[in-house]
């Protein structure tokens, strides 16, 4: 993905909490970069996980 969280234009009912990268937990901030292979911990309103998936990995 190679974007900072602030570049994703996340809706208000989606919050990225942390990223696990190479075994280390990084607390998310707007400037946190997301890179291929990151695992993302997110709070998402029920029914919105597909939207988050599309924003992070694209259409399937």
Q: Are 1 and 34 in contact (CB under 8 A)?
A: yes
pLDDT at 18 (0 to 100): 98
Q: How far apart are CA 26 and CA 59, in angstroms?
A: 26
8-state DSSP, 8: S
The dihedral through the CA atoms of 45, 46, 48, 49 has a sign that is positive
Say whether pLDDT at 58 is over 90: no
Q: Is 9 left (phi over 0), alpha (psi -120 to 50) or beta?
A: left
3-57 sits in which CATH class?
A: alpha beta
Domain boundaries, the chain: 3-57
Confidence of residue 5 (pLDDT cuts 50, 70, 90): very high
- pLDDT, one tens digit per residue, over 9-41 is 899 999 999 999 999 999 999 999 999 999 999
In which residue are the tokens 């996980």 written? 49
């Amino acid at each position: 993905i190679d974007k900072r969280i602030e570049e994703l234009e996340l809706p208000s009912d989606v919050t990225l909490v942390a990223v696990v990268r190479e075994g280390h937990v990084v607390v998310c901030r707007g400037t946190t970069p997301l890179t291929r292979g990151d695992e993302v911990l997110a709070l998402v309103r029920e029914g919105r996980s597909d939207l988050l998936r599309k924003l992070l990995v694209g259409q399937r």
